Chains A and B, each alone.
Chain A
Amino acid sequence: MAEDLAFAAERSFLAQEFLTWLWFRCEVEGGEFELDAGPVAMVVEDALSFTSWDPDGTRASLRGGTPTVRPEAASALAAGLTLKRARLLAARGEREWHFSLDGETLDLLGVKVPEVEDKGDDDGVDKLAEKLALGEELRAMVDGLYQVFLGVRLGPDWARIELPRLNDWVRQKLDRAWQEVLAASSN
């Protein structure tokens, strides 16, 4: 049991990789995923927290505006930092969830669930139960996405295809960031 816990704890970095990979997939492939429970569309929205693997290492935060396209975000990735936390949007059909995902624990924070439709006082719908079910549905979506990531991460294509693509994405973001910085300084 203690061994299992230690084994799991040593691999908790996978959540940070997952969050960073999710951002990559959102930007490069549009963020649409087909999960067992149905499709989901993801957007990395705001409040990006980066950290290095070294526990005493660099931390950086970006919030407001559109932080995902800021040069600072590209620089952080290029310096080897990964996402520790971010504010995301998940959409399934017409329904949208806004939430933060913790890249250490996979805890969900500040989840705003889709509006529970008000059908009057006597509609027989328990609004609390419905809200909790929507929270649970989001948890299942995140678990499903994490499993998609694990399939790629632990598979043979990770080192051969996915990691080079991630690095290519970082490089392109950095190139764009430099162009922005140069354009800003020439004005």
Chain B
Amino acid sequence: MLVGRGSLTFRCYAVSGKNAMPSGEKIVERLDAFAFTGLGEAEEGSVVGWIAGEHLFDGAFDIDKLMRGPYAVFALRVDTRKVNGALLAAHTAVEVAATMEAEGLERLGGARRREIKQEIKRRLLKETAPAQKAYGVFWNVRARRLYVQSTSKTIHEHFRGFFERCFDLSLEAQVAGVTAAAYAKENGLLEALKDVRPMQLTAATESAAPAPKRRAAASVA
């Protein structure tokens, strides 16, 4: 199972939009429409798509598998193929040397070198297996909260854009500044938040204010 396996690492998003609480059937339909299709055999770069939650090759979306209690569970698959730069340079150098020797040349022009490099790159791409990764997603549809099992900035960029396109919904990562802004807005503290600057801790001696017995502002038991 790709979702919820082992210890959990995740970032939280708030989901908003015109239909922010789609039915299970609708989610299945959208996942199917944006399902992972894979990289072409000689394609370089990254490609993303949805897979069902069981394993990397699980492309069968069905509602019983998708809906687990209040959660829709699925995964984002990201395949990346990239030719190793050092390998490409080495193969190109060998091929350029062999061509110069075969053709009795002292040097090879830039255009010809590029041509050789491109040909080698095409060959290496066919020989290079893509890195295949998947990141679990669990979406509490009614709570409009969605959780992605990664902390990678790149993955979150991929995820957010792809999700918003697929479901025509907006996502807002519940990171510190966003949560603080929402809290300040709700509690009439926006001005205070605007003025806030990083605290400077110091061990320099000064008379500390006595600790109050109980402070309502902190709601501490």
Q: Of the 9-residue stretches A2-10, A58-66, A179-187, which lies at the interface with chain B? A: A2-10
Contact yes or no, B151 A148, CB < 8 A: no
Q: Given A77-B201, A147-B183, is A139 in contact with B147 using a C-beta cutoff of 8 Å?
A: yes
B contact residues around A111 at 8 Å (CB): 7-10
Asked if A37 is at the interface of the complex by the 8 Å CB criterion, the answer is no
- The secondary-structure label for the interface of chain B is loop
Q: How far is the CB of B169 from chain A (nearest CB, A)?
A: 15
Asked if B200 is at the interface of the complex by the 8 Å CB criterion, the answer is yes
Asked if A110 is at the interface of the complex by the 8 Å CB criterion, the answer is yes
Q: How far is the CB of B152 from chain A (nearest CB, A)?
A: 10
Asked if A114 is at the interface of the complex by the 8 Å CB criterion, the answer is no
How far does the alpha carbon of A162 sit from the alpha carbon of B207 in the complex, in Å? 13
How far does the alpha carbon of A10 sit from the alpha carbon of B151 in the complex, in Å? 20
Question: Which of B68, B71, B221 is the one whose CB lies under 8 Å from A32?
Answer: B221
**Nearest residue, chain A, Cβ from B193:** A154
Question: Which of B73, B187, B206 is the one whose CB lies under 8 Å from A128?
Answer: B73
Contact yes or no, B180 A78, CB < 8 A: no
Chain A positions near chain B (C-beta within 8 angstroms): 4, 7-15, 17-18, 20, 25, 28-29, 32-35, 39, 53, 77-78, 80-82, 102, 104-113, 126, 128-133, 135-136, 139, 143, 146-148, 150-155, 157, 160-168, 170-171, 174
Please name 20 further chain A to chain B contacts, defined as beta carbons within 8 Å, in addition to the given A135-B4, A166-B201, sorted by A numbering: A7-B194, A8-B177, A14-B176, A80-B201, A81-B201, A104-B176, A105-B176, A106-B174, A106-B176, A109-B151, A113-B8, A126-B68, A132-B71, A146-B180, A148-B219, A150-B179, A151-B217, A162-B218, A167-B201, A171-B205
